[in-house]
Chain A
Amino acid sequence: MTVTAEREARAVGKHHHGSPRRPRTRDSYALFLLPGVLAFLLVIVVPFAMNTGVSFTDWQGVGTPDWSGLANYRELLDDSEFWASFRHSLFMVVAMAAVPTVIGLVLAAALFDFVGKHFGSRTAAVLRACFYLPQVLPIAVAGIVWSWILAPDNGSLNELLQAVGLGSWQQDWLGDPDIALYSVMGVMVWVQIGFPLVVFMAGLQRVDPQLYEAAELDGAGWWRRFWHITLPQIRPEIHVVLTWCTIAALKVFGAVYVLTKGGPGGATNVPSYFSFTTFFEKTQVGYGAAISTVLTVIILLLALVGLRLQTRAEDAEEGLRT
């Protein structure tokens, strides 16, 4: 397809060579959008519309869906499992957005400002690579690694505690309903931390070193420089990271599937896993669609707020410059 089109185009181009320019119609560029628009209609728009439609019906996945209006949504309001899954989502936001952002900021500043300056950028790059490594790992594989490390019998963590004389701290990390959620959170911090770190380190390169030098001459210590220069300067990056990580936290699925399957007793259930089991194990497709629609609305609202914050920050910055 592409090749023929190009060949034709070439022939046409040769033909027109040297001839006066045709008036350019801006909208003929719209043709280039055609494949994209068709593909998006097919894979995103139509399925999304179907999912939303199905959420207003009672459907088992076969036969014709029965219109039930808002019944699914009314049922959700009374479903303690649903509320629990969203409560767990908040924990995931802490583990995947809040904690990695804070740690990432301190690490990025320390690596860039301190290690980079005193020990060379190579050392900083190697350390950064170590922190980033879990980010390229498939979440299924990370799950295998951690569920084995956190296993109650013979798991490395329990063995390690035993070895250093803290045997009484041993736990069934993923099997105890009181602890499992925190264990999953710990794994997610490990998975996520590299992303803010890399973004922040890139952001720090924009900061004018003279600002630091001036502050240093004024006798400002490392923390004060971090607080008064680094943080305000990379605020756009912080907004982006917080928005993306929060959205990622709300979508968490693979980690829960592989580590705990939402258990024990629903202690680590999250909306995406909840909708997955409702779709494919309970085959209550209408109800599952309602769960995922609520999740979508929340994520889209967050994304809009995030975009708005970002553009407002950019506007403010431009306002300062002019």
Chain B
Amino acid sequence: MTTAVRRYPVLVALVIAALFMVLPFLIVTMNAVKSPAEYSANGPLSLPDGLYLDGLKDFWERVDFGQKLLNSVLVSGAVAALAVVLSVLNAYAIGIGRIKGRTWVLAFFVLANVLPQEALVYPIYYLSKEAGLYDTRLSVIIVFTVIQAAFGTYLLSAVLGQFPREIIEAARIDGANKWQVLWRIVVPVSRPTIGVLLVFFFIWTWNEFLLPLVMLISNDNQTVSVALGVLQGQRLMDATMTNAAALLGVLPAIVFFLVFQRTLTRGIAVGAVK
């Protein structure tokens, strides 16, 4: 048996490694609440003297952060809901309907899922300009609904493939048609997987960068990710502003993380193995 003497060094090493992982978050938080004067006097590593929130407030107003948050919530929320509906419909046909050629259909969705967005971005940019959808949140919602549904179809088809056939047979004998079976039986029973997908789609869309960067050029339409990425790319921010930006960008992620922690860790496991 391992003795206590041998046990603790491993734990200590792991704790130090974990601290190293969260250290950047701590440093950012520390510096976001320092005044510029304090920052230039004591540098980035000193503990803050007090809470200085004007930097955060200035940044919030300067980039109209509330609008960016709203855009991100709107785009990510709409994508999560629509992509789940699309995934459910696809997976119903593939996993339960077992339509002809389903292996090929599924392979198609898997390949669509790994396709790099670089190979789609210019035509999407061009076509959305032609269609008058360029620089609208709707265009980003449409594109990501489809991209996320590729993964959702792949995952849900595997899950629905294992769905107990007896339940469906019983409902059919009772006279339920396919729509009723889908919405009253399959969807409620698959709620855990659907919940995982909703959370994943929301966070993935929230974090997306390339396509929103290309598609959303006006300030009023940009998401949090794009707005912060563009600001950083312009190299116009001073230290206080950078930290304010970083903290405001980190906070929603931490909130999602705390709220959805269980779903996330469980979901990754489900998604990775099948």
The chain A residues found within 8 Å of chain B, CB to CB, are 2, 5-6, 9-10, 12-14, 16-19, 21, 24, 26-33, 35-36, 39-40, 42-44, 46-48, 50-52, 54, 61, 107, 110-111, 114-115, 118-119, 123, 127-134, 136-141, 143-149, 154-156, 159-160, 163, 190, 193, 195, 198-199, 202-203, 236-237, 240-241, 244, 247, 250-251, 253-254, 257-258, 261, 271-272, 275-276, 279-280, 285, 288-289, 291-293, 295-296, 299-300, 303, 307
Contacts and interface: CB of A to CB of B under 8 A. Distances in A.
A199 B203 contact: no
Q: Counting chain B CB atoms within 10 Å of each CB, which of A29, A47, A141, A300 scores highest?
A: A141
B116 A295 contact: yes
B250 A141 contact: yes
Q: Nearest 4 pairs between A and B by C-beta?
A: A29-B97, A202-B269, A141-B249, A140-B229
Interface string B86-129: 10011011101111100001001111101111111111101100
A253 B28 contact: no
A138 B175 contact: no
B232 A140 contact: yes
B105 A257 contact: no
Chain B's interface size range is 35 or more
Interface stretch (B49-57, B140-148, B188-196): B140-148
B201 interface: no
Given A48-B123, A139-B209, A299-B115, 4 more contacts: A29-B93, A46-B127, A254-B209, A292-B121
B265 interface: yes
A308 B100 CA distance: 22
B179 A6 contact: yes
B197 interface: no
A306 to B, nearest CB: 9
Given A32-B92, A247-B114, A54 B229 contact: no
A51 B122 CA distance: 7
B83 to A, nearest CB: 10
Given A13-B176, A141-B253, A119 B11 contact: yes
Interface string B45-87: 1000000000000000000000000000000000000000110
Given A119-B11, A254-B210, A146 B239 contact: no
Given A27-B99, A145-B246, A261 B233 contact: yes
B100 A26 contact: yes
B20 to A, nearest CB: 9
A43 B143 contact: yes
B127 to A, nearest CB: 7
Given A36-B86, A145-B250, A296 B14 contact: no
A30 B97 contact: yes
B21 A130 contact: yes
Given A107-B14, A257-B229, A276-B210, A144 B99 contact: no
B244 to A, nearest CB: 10
